[in-house]
Amino acid sequence: MIDGVDVFSGITLGLGVALTPANIAFCLIGCLVGTLVGVLPGLGPTATIAILLPMTFGLDPVTGLITLAGIYYGAQYGGSTTSILLRLPGEASSVVTALDGHAMTRNGRGGAALTIAAVASFFAGTVATFFMAAFAPVLASAVLKFGAPEYFMLMFLGLITSVVLAQGSVLRAVTMIVLGLLLGLAGTDINSGQYRYDFGFFELLNGVPFVPLVVGLFGVADILVTLERVARDEAPPVINRISSLWPTREEVKQATPATVRGTVIGMVLGLLPGGGALLSSFLAYTTEKRFSRTPEAFGTGLPQGVAAPESANNAGAQTAFLPLLTLGIPSNAIMALMVGAMMVHGIVPGPKIITSQPDLFWGLIASMWVGNLMLLVINLPLVGIWVQLLKIRYQFMFPTILVVSIVGIYGVEFTTFDVYLTAIFGLLGYFIHKWKCEPAPLVLAFVLGPMMEEYFRRSMLVGRGNPMIFIEHPISLAMLVVTVLLIASMFLPFIQKFRQKAFAE
């Protein structure tokens, strides 16, 4: 068991790693890029991390991961700026912030709304960081007792949970998971050495390359979707005047309990596969309406309507790292990209990472608090600059984004095959969007599929071909029961009605 002294020592070690000049500089770069990504509509953190992923391969592993993490939670901050001032969410998790945030701007309280959003995000990020520091070693110690059956059932449960929490129909989410599993099977069978699903291309003998897949599905596809949307709407955004940044005592009083509740909701949902920042912000806003004595007033400019979703999405973004670092299992598409980045550096995420690479584990956690402090300091003074960037036409931006993507892809293996593959996956991602499917379950299945196959085969070897091994192990049986209950719940009428209502909201 890990005691409090060891956790304190770990945090001290992490701060020593995170506060080196190089890591501070790249954390700042990640936070600035993330904020810019959050501000600019049509360029989400998933696409940006996918595009910039190859450029971090030459960095030290800790520095590269700190940079990518900064982009992720920096986008949660940046998305609130344009949501509040322009009712133009730059990031999906900031959509709900626009409801009361922009209403506060129309009421002359836009500056106060920005401060409430920034402070709520910082509070949530700080609490979530210390939550991870306290519970990650304990969880990792427990997971060390897992065998092959437990790992397989845990991953299977994660995929099923991502189906339940995915937007749209269950059938579409399942289709994406099946497609992801099939893509993950391509390459050489590690047991028999046989080639499978390579279609005669020797470049696929090691499997479908991860970077072209994610850059195509998220980066190129997002460019195509955004260009289509921009072509329909050429109206430039109207820049609102920013009022005083200081909230009143009454606004602080209303925002404080909402911030605490949003933080708790975000920390819990961030741990779930398919949860994270987006679902956290919507549930936190809905919860505040349920707790309020005047729910009809939401949307008219209530501080709690800003504080709750902003604290929830930042807490969810932070705790999404916990399953990745302790279980080796990504909880959303961005965490899947982090797995890819770790594997390129030869790092195997999982419970042993705390003892085998403590500098990386504690350095990454400590950098989250440092990054949140940076975001609090830089965001409010730079609000005017971020908003002015919205005047840049997307038609002038996307060629640069596309060139950076192609150069990054080619620079990984120096082969044009990866560039062609990126274009193919870009078209696939575009059509996935048109068919109203989510690519996130596909990427989760692509990452988890090979690991699930390996743990399933190990389980069969241990059980001598008897599938009852998944029932004979108590932990595996418990997860199997939860999985069956989740599958059964999706067919219940009131659950289906609740999903449809939640995602419609």
pLDDT given for residue 314 in this prediction: 87
Confirm whether 252 is domain-assigned. Answer: yes
- State the total domains in the chain: 1
Confirm whether 2 is domain-assigned. Answer: no
Cα atoms in the 13 Å half-sphere on the side-chain side of 400: 8
For 8, residues 6+ apart whose C-beta sits below 8 A from its C-beta are none
Confirm whether 1 is domain-assigned. Answer: no
Confirm whether 352 is domain-assigned. Answer: yes
Please name the amino acid found at residue 66.
Answer: I
In sequence order, what E strands does 73-180 have? none
CA 184/CA 179 separation, integer angstroms: 9
Tell me how far the alpha carbon of residue 494 is from its chain's centroid: 29
Strand 187-188 with 195-196, pairing: antiparallel
Q: Is the dihedral of CA 221, 225, 230, 231 positive or negative?
A: positive
CA distances for 74 relative to 17, 112, 131, 177, 260, angstroms: 20, 20, 19, 29, 20
Confirm whether 79 is domain-assigned. Answer: yes
Buried b (16+ CB within 10 A) or exposed e, 302-333: bbbbbbbbbbbbbbbbbbbbbbbbbbbbbbbb
CA 331/CA 322 separation, integer angstroms: 9
Q: pLDDT tens for the chain, 505 residues: list them.
A: 444 447 788 888 889 999 999 999 999 999 988 888 777 765 677 778 888 888 888 888 899 999 988 888 888 777 787 778 777 666 666 778 888 988 888 888 888 888 899 899 889 988 998 898 888 888 777 777 788 899 899 888 888 877 776 666 778 888 999 999 999 989 888 777 788 888 888 888 888 988 888 888 887 887 888 788 776 665 555 555 666 778 888 999 999 999 999 999 989 888 876 556 667 887 888 888 888 888 888 888 899 999 999 999 888 888 888 888 888 778 777 888 888 888 877 787 877 788 888 888 899 999 988 988 888 887 777 776 766 666 677 677 778 778 877 887 887 778 899 999 999 999 999 999 888 888 878 888 898 888 889 889 999 998 888 889 999 989 899 999 998 988 887 777 766 665 566 555 5
pLDDT given for residue 255 in this prediction: 92
CA 222/CA 201 separation, integer angstroms: 27
Which tokens go with 493? 């009428």
The CA-based angle 297-119-369, given to 5 degrees, is 140
Q: Which helix (H) or strand (E) holds 195?
A: strand 195-196
Confirm whether 108 is domain-assigned. Answer: yes
H runs (alpha helix) in 87-109? 97-106
Tell me how far the alpha carbon of residue 484 is from its chain's centroid: 26
In sequence order, what E strands does 371-463 have? none
pLDDT given for residue 76 in this prediction: 74
Residue 401 CB coordination number (10 Å)? 20
CA 184/CA 197 separation, integer angstroms: 10
Confirm whether 474 is domain-assigned. Answer: yes
Q: Which domain holds residue 268?
A: 7-503
Which string of DSSP letters, residue by residue, matches 236-280?
PPPPPPP--SPPPHHHHHHHHHHHHHHHHHHHHHHTSTT-HHHHH
pLDDT given for residue 299 in this prediction: 84
This model's pTM is above 0.95: no
CA distances for 252 relative to 81, 115, 480, 498, angstroms: 19, 10, 45, 33
pLDDT given for residue 138 in this prediction: 80
Confirm whether 331 is domain-assigned. Answer: yes
pLDDT given for residue 43 in this prediction: 65
pLDDT given for residue 1 in this prediction: 41
